[in-house]
A and B are shown apart, each in its own frame.
Chain A
Amino acid sequence: GNSVTQMEGPVTLSEEAFLTINCTYTATGYPSLFWYVQYPGEGLQLLLKATKADDKGSNKGFEATYRKETTSFHLEKGSVQVSDSAVYFCALSEASSYKLIFGSGTRLLVRP
């Protein structure tokens, strides 16, 4: 079946450090890929998405590239801020499906 695997956290970084959160997936066909973010005490928000191979999603300084050859969608940011502290979820959705399959989440803690 379809699944998403992301690196375990917590990931602890100093402000202005480079961030990578790894995400790999297993799917039949050509899924769309997403990163959602959950700030403390809130629901999830869509951070970025990519709907086909080699697409790059980007938002708020974060970016991720849909790599079909390695079935990956790693999240990166060049310089993290304390306000980026949150839980990040990688997710996929099969073509024309209304369901999302989430990874287990990675907690990011950025220290001043």
Chain B
Amino acid sequence: AQSVTQPDIHITVSEGASLELRCNYSYGATPYLFWYVQSPGQGLQLLLKYFSGDTLVQGIKGFEAEFKRSQSSFNLRKPSVHWSDAAEYFCAVGPGRGAQKLVFGQGTRLTINP
């Protein structure tokens, strides 16, 4: 069965600092991996996705993520955070092309200190 673990429930960083949010997945085959962001009072929005190819993928809002098969990880990074990045971030895994059912992690809440 697929599963996603986000080890950090809550992270606080200072504005302008770099950010890395961790995600580990469990899946037998090559997974389809996603990061979503949820701003307060809003639904989730897709940040980026990885299906195959280059293991470093770029997303919206200056985010990137790196797929590391050996570590079963798909960590999200941003070189310099802005106050508007404060939100909850969800990692998700899907079973393959055309399949739409995703398994989401528990989420990591990001707080930005001014």
A binds B: no
A interface, CB within 8 angstroms of B: none
